[in-house]
Amino acid sequence: MKILAIIPARGGSKGIPLKNIKKLSGKPLIKYTINTAQKSKKIDKIIVSTDNKKIARISKSLGVEIPFLRPKKISANSSQTIDLVKHVIKKLKKNEFIPDIITILQPTSPFRTSQMIDESINLLKKFDATSVISVTEMKKHPYSSFWFQNKFLKSFKKDYQRFYQRQLFPKLFYPTGSIYTFWTSTLTKYDSLYGPRIKPMIINDEMKNLDIDNEFDFFVAEMGMKYWKKS
């Protein structure tokens, strides 16, 4: 069984230019994800999908394959992840490498572990799932949210006052962005990374769930590395 890890790392970013190689504790952000993927006991091949030559150069120096650059047309802010996955698979088929399982590892999740990656693959197999994604329980529940309409707030849920305690909220989970693992057959059969049988891998460690999107997130990550374990 062939297992492929794709690390998507385009050069463009609305908030932080070249965010994926911005230094975190003196190392390019992408290095943490690459090193974690390299430590996995399950992954056979690692590909960094990027449209940027500088990101490609740094990734190669860390021992990762960059056999091709991603086309600009699937590297915009509006581009979908499924398109870059299809691009990678199409290119690898020419080299006769067809993965059975694909895991997507975003560079913006530097605290995921190789054990988490391997566990997602185990869950995919064990439960006959079409995909496995890392999730965490929502602390800020939508039932306590409001729409902004006609200059005033309108409750998202009409009977929201009934949920006056957090314990009364039904449990909801959202993707952390750390791990998306799925069968290649899920992609071909459903034209989706998910399919109908999505198995959650619930992670409630806030550091492992950190998804770096802006400068404040970088600050939190930096402080977490220095002080969180000590505290």
Residue 96 has pLDDT above 80, yes or no: yes
Note whether residue 205 is domain-resident. yes
Note whether residue 180 is domain-resident. yes
CATH number, position 28: 3.90.550.10
Note whether residue 71 is domain-resident. yes
pLDDT given for residue 157 in this prediction: 81
Domain count, the chain: 1
Note whether residue 27 is domain-resident. yes
Q: Report if pTM > 0.85.
A: yes
Q: Show the domain range for 111.
A: 3-135+174-228
For residues 39-56, average pLDDT: 96
Note whether residue 154 is domain-resident. no
Residue percentage of the chain with pLDDT more than 70: 98
Note whether residue 153 is domain-resident. no
Other CB atoms within 10 A of residue 141 CB: 18
State the Cα–Cα distance between residues 120 and 199, nearest whole angstrom: 9
Note whether residue 53 is domain-resident. yes
Q: What is the DSSP string of 179-211?
A: EEEEEHHHHHHHSSSS-S-EEEEE---TTTT--
Note whether residue 198 is domain-resident. yes
Higher pLDDT, 70 or 230: 70
